[in-house]
Chain A
């Protein structure tokens, strides 16, 4: 019996102690008619050998194409030590650190993670993670609406340069609470959001918050100082959505504008988490100290024990569902603890200079890739604004056709922008992280050049 250690003697002795004749008798309070028989549609159990064979075949079936897609999930190098340590049983199989004295390892990791995230974002406080970047942004918006006592508004400006899947996630999570999301258009030439567009989108309405994305979904760098100052001039909180790798190079949200962003959130995946089909990743959420009591999720704090020795514990728990129930800052309970452990080890291994090297290498690779692809007739940048490590490119044929043809050559050529941004025509969002080699980029260019040439001669087979 896998995962059940009982011998027949154990079972007999245990039943005798309980005073029942069979295990079945222990279920005698459940109405008979509710009991089920065999679950015939579920296959019979497999040995470890058999399931390994099945999973290896399925993992192989997905191949390992060369990835030029970014769009919120980035193919970075993960140091070997990160997951060797994170999957140690003491981290992997521990629960949320409710018994602080028996969980000092996890708690100190959380405290160090919070320290690193506040350093990257330039803000005062961080929580110990949310599910992912998109749900973290939703929580940031809920937090801002609760915290903004000046306007008491439920309206939030959300730029169209925000990741479409993030916009959809935010909508699902915040709209049941009556929050109104107002979309802000972008400048068709630069791909940026401007204060003029904020003016138009807001109209005469009071606002709770403005979402500022750096870099934005197109990889373009936004004029964050002006946008932050605009938010504050309108008594709105400034919510920064940022890429943690980019923060090694870019101005931290705490420094934006005259007063700094109030809240910063984002996706921690680039910090040591494999692509893994979209998860588990981890959302992070940081804020200024005066907002800390509105922060959702677990927070670790440093305190003293009975002997006056420093130690770590979960703190400000009066914000949380297990204490405050229906009046909690969020319903979140389980978060992404193990991913935080990985991110913390990752940041410790890279340090400030290593992260900066990764950021610079991604930036340089994407610039190089875009330049190579633009050698192909009909391929050109969609926007002229400065970028970090992604770029939107216009293509001379429908992006879906070209991407399908590239995939047949084991190349994931980027994300098709057609369905979410039809106004851009045929366009693709590409990314080349530090992992992409010169040869891989050349292979992408050469393959795309051949496909474009063929495509211009004959329409594709459908």
Chain B
């Protein structure tokens, strides 16, 4: 039996009946007499009863068990863990923005709506799309909206035969999942040895059943697909539409625009490219942009400007919309953060993002190759990210990508993305972002070299890693077999009100 350890003590374990943070709730507790007894709760919920200081100390200590951008280099591939400027947070949390009710009238919303309208315009410009809706709450919801618009477009034309969405085998898992949520069949297209989509396979796959293709460019293997124009022609000639997964937009911001590549619909991950925080798993924001022919189908709400005032566009103004994705139209606070970031970058800063993200990735790839690590696509330029494959280390030293990843934590580096994309064995997908210094990149290379030395001399150090984290390697199999998903009170502990 494990000894209950203070380090994993729950807030519930600190609870004592009758203790509470008295300053937080109303001082007067009116008696409720007019709710029928049968609808009332019989026993109080088993929530923790702690003092304000206990809560503050507990959650402050928990925060200290996290790696984060503010504390560590976090080269998680495909996630764009760049610096989140603090001004974005404090300006989005100005009282006027925080206190606004989502159903406040337009007369009391012009400040917010001006920011949203400006953001729509900036995103249109930087992606080369005809119109933008800020409604989707995250990338996956943007994908859902994008595919739903493709569906609506074909249906509006009476073209009901288009039941298939093409997805490269290297795509993010959200792509096939989003297509399935919109009722489409998913067909995978192979990736060639050079990292580009296999053009001949694509040509063989397109046809009257093709609703569209979902592509990330640069792709998830970290290279720019050089055949993008040929891909666009091939899909368009077959009557299909092109969907751009904006997960890797950081690589091309201000350099190349998805609209110019031929994409009909895109989503952007503002929590990646536009530097809004990831918050330990969200919130994000996943605005969608479209070409002219998809414009009527954009999700609502959107913001319009008549030269004097800003107005909401909702279901009544946009009858062909695919509809609403959340009750109140999106993660407004995240949109404000992205807007502040975009205005601080300005037109000259957009291109700088992709330039330095690309410089950092190519530099880090070059240094790691110099040090003897194997790049998965050595003949290609890195985009904003690249893949190192540890298949040789795995074969010769018996340590795998997971062991390297866990040991990197001990060296003070968050691990890169591991085992994705699935088609490269023992891979680390590394995205340093533009905000890291050369010194930090050099430090990461030194850590990788030191870990490989350990793998040669004392492989058990890697196998047992991490050693310096609050916990050692966790038993995922046990977690899934012996489900412990919530603290439950012992029967006698339930407090009765």
Contacts and interface: CB of A to CB of B under 8 A. Distances in A.
A binds B: yes
B280 A337 contact: yes
Contacts of A275: 98-102
Given A96-B278, A132-B327, A331-B181, A354 B104 contact: no
Contact of B101 (A67, A249, A303): A67
A357 B281 contact: no
A305 B282 contact: no
A224 B497 contact: no
A101 B472 contact: yes
Interface string A286-319: 0001001000001111111111111111011110
A99 B327 contact: no
Contacts of B257: 34, 36
B484 to A, nearest CB: 4
A26 B358 contact: yes
Nearest to B176: A326
A273 B490 CA distance: 31
B10 A112 contact: yes
B282 A276 contact: no
A447 interface: no
Given A81-B56, A90-B66, A95-B280, A299 B21 contact: no
Given A97-B281, A112-B487, A133 B327 contact: yes
A357 B47 CA distance: 14
Interface in B276-304: 277-284, 299
A35 B254 CA distance: 9
Contacts of A95: 74, 76, 79, 81, 278, 280-281, 414
B486 interface: yes
Given A39-B125, A55-B340, A315-B476, A131 B34 contact: no
Interface in B45-77: 45-50, 52, 55-56, 58-60, 62-72, 74, 76
Interface stretch (B107-115, B233-241, B392-400, B446-454): B107-115
Contacts of A308: 2
Interface string A246-281: 011111100100000000000100000011111111
Interface stretch (A204-212, A231-239, A339-347, A448-456): A339-347
Contacts of B70: 89-90, 92-93
Given A10-B437, A29-B224, A119-B46, A352 B497 contact: yes
Contact of A11 (B3, B110, B359): B359
The listed residue with most A CB atoms (<10 A of its CB), out of B21, B45, B84, B100, is B45
B216 to A, nearest CB: 14
A355 interface: yes
Contacts of A277: 97, 100-102, 104, 109, 112, 328, 332-333
A356 B483 CA distance: 30
A337 to B, nearest CB: 3
The listed residue with most A CB atoms (<10 A of its CB), out of B69, B182, B282, is B282
A350 interface: yes
A31 B52 CA distance: 59
Contact of B100 (A177, A276, A312): A276
Interface string B1-37: 0111101101110000001110111101111101110
Contact of A352 (B279, B332, B495): B495
Interface in B73-90: 74, 76, 79, 81-85, 87, 89
Contact of B64 (A90, A336, A360): A90
Contacts of A87: 89
B350 interface: yes
B346 A299 contact: no
A166 interface: yes
The listed residue with most B CB atoms (<10 A of its CB), out of A310, A322, A341, is A310
Nearest to A52: B91
A412 B101 contact: yes
Given A29-B223, A36-B257, A72-B328, A115 B487 contact: yes
A150 interface: no
A54 interface: yes
Contacts of A97: 280-281
B344 interface: yes
Contacts of A11: 359
Contacts of B330: 278-279
Interface in B132-150: 137-141, 143-144, 148
Contacts of B279: 91-94, 336-339, 341
Given A292-B483, A347-B47, A353-B49, A35 B471 contact: no
A50 to B, nearest CB: 8
A100 interface: yes
B394 to A, nearest CB: 19
A196 interface: no
A334 B140 contact: yes
Contacts of A26: 355, 358-359, 362, 381-382
A370 to B, nearest CB: 12
B95 interface: yes
A77 B12 CA distance: 23
B326 A131 contact: yes
A10 B469 contact: no
A154 to B, nearest CB: 12
A144 B70 CA distance: 40
A213 B84 CA distance: 39
B315 interface: yes
Nearest to A116: B47
B356 interface: yes
B347 A44 contact: yes
Contacts of B177: 321, 324-326, 328, 330-331
A81 B139 CA distance: 30
The listed residue with most A CB atoms (<10 A of its CB), out of B63, B103, B108, B148, is B103
A247 B41 contact: yes
Nearest to B83: A3
B491 interface: no
B102 A10 contact: no
Nearest to A102: B67
B386 to A, nearest CB: 12
Given A42-B346, A88-B60, A101-B409, A336 B283 contact: yes
A47 B478 CA distance: 51
Contact of A4 (B105, B324, B356): B356
Interface stretch (A13-21, A181-189, A375-383, A391-399): A13-21
6 contacts: A41-B125, A51-B344, A69-B101, A131-B325, A350-B21, A352-B46
Given A6-B437, A322-B173, 19 more contacts: A34-B257, A39-B125, A45-B345, A55-B94, A56-B94, A59-B94, A104-B65, A112-B487, A168-B323, A176-B182, A249-B35, A277-B109, A309-B2, A313-B476, A324-B177, A331-B177, A351-B20, A352-B49, A412-B105
Nearest 9 A-B pairs (CB), nearest first? A45-B346, A278-B328, A89-B70, A338-B279, A172-B323, A59-B96, A337-B281, A278-B102, A58-B111
